[in-house]
Amino acid sequence: MSTHVRHPIWLSALKAADARTFASLYAVESFARAMVSSVIPIQAYEILHNEQIVSILYTVVSLLGLSVTLFMPMLIRRFARRWVYTAGACLLAIGSLFFVTHTLAGQLAGMLCRVMGASALSITLNLYIMDHIRKTDFMQAESLRMAWSMVAWTGGPTLGIFLYTRFGIYAAHGAVAVFAMALLALFWTYRLSDNQSIRPGKTRPANPLANIGRFVAQPRLRLAWLIAFGRSCFWTTFFVYGPLFMVITGEGELAGGLLVSAGNALLFMAIFWGKAGKRFGGRRTMTFAYFAMSATLLAAGAVGVTVPLLTGAFLLCGAFFTIALDALGSTAFMRSVRSYERAQMAAVYRTYLDFSELTPPLVYSVVLAFFGLGSVFVTLALLAAFCGFVTWRYLPKSL
């Protein structure tokens, strides 16, 4: 009997993880990230005083964060998923300590911690979802996850700006640390690491370059990556250049926070888009969303700085259609990846977020050297149109 372990009685009473489990984890994580989503670009602008240099800063951070994402399978293999998830939550809190220094070095370190933490949380959470949710339920589970995060992404940016402008930098970033610790407590309460099916595999993990080659060799995974990349580019532009646009055009910092919050308030429509995907098919719904997004972005670029509030309205329309891709897009990956290589392929798939934070600022820094701020939205519209065409042409009708 020396090997017998008595677990606390309450552990056996815990319900099996389901869609609500992951929706609640993602909702709390969203609060930790949304609180300063509008503060960070404004804070960077206050330090650098130039929107083009702000784009370069985001590019540098994304390049550094990309390497961490590619090595994430090795970290999961070495330390297990629960510890990688724990480290991700802690990095969000540590990043707050760097941000409050209000220096260029602190800004860079804080943004890097934020990127690495988000990467760890995203990859491990997706692995947990694929282990506990059936493939046929992915679409409904993802739409529920997006809908539950609506409160965080709606109130978080405006609340963060309010704390930053009214109570100072410590209040805004201190709130992030509080939510990060709450996320950690909730995660360990669910005890997801106790599930036998989500323990690290015994096979030797391939190196990052081999993982990339394996991913690129599968057309369905390439398509899933492009779908995710396109819609993530919209959110990167919306979160960074939306608040900057409002500040530069004289509407003020609070207007920037309200714009982001209004866009995120539309996340409750994820439930609607989930039903639309089930009714009309993921291929048709996502294609329509991409082309509609492209049209609204072209309108925003055409109006530009002449009528800032109207431009903001067009950006909100774009956010409405992008949420369809949030609700449905990840199912293309989850239903295509093979179970025995989920960790490796999930890490490569996650690079869509790193590239979406890297590529737009890099491209925009060049475009802004020749054109006005509205050109940013026109450039994004062209990408959305391309993604819509590829989605319609190559995504299987059965999805």
Record the tokens describing residue 201, joined without a space: 């595999």
Q: Which residue has the tokens 């815990």?
A: 14
Q: Which residue has the tokens 């540590």?
A: 94
Q: Provide the 3-class DSSP secondary structure of residue 80.
A: coil
- For 56-110, write each residue's pLDDT tens digit: 888 788 788 777 777 777 787 788 888 999 999 999 999 999 999 989 999 999 9
Comparing 154 with 32, the larger pLDDT belongs to 32
CB atoms < 10 A from the CB of 101, how many?
13
Task: For 148-304, list the strands marked E by DSSP.
Answer: none
Contact residues for 118 (Cβ-Cβ < 8 A; gap 6+): 33, 88, 92, 353
Among residues 108, 74, 391, 373, which one has the least CA distance to residue 203? 74
Helix/strand number for the chain, H first, E second: 20, 0
> Is it the case that residue 367 has pLDDT exceeding 70?
yes
First to last CA, the chain: 51
- What is the C-alpha separation between 94 and 9, in angstroms, rounded? 34
- For 190-219, write each residue's pLDDT tens digit: 877 544 444 444 444 456 777 888 888 888
Among residues 132, 194, 146, which one has the least CA distance to residue 5? 194
Phi, psi torsion values for 290, nearest 5 degrees: -65, -45
Report the pLDDT value the prediction gives residue 194, as an integer from 0 to 100.
42
pTM of the model: 0.71
CB atoms < 10 A from the CB of 367, how many?
18
Average pLDDT over residues 118-126: 86
DSSP secondary structure letters along 288-307: HHHHHHHHHHHHHHHHTTSS
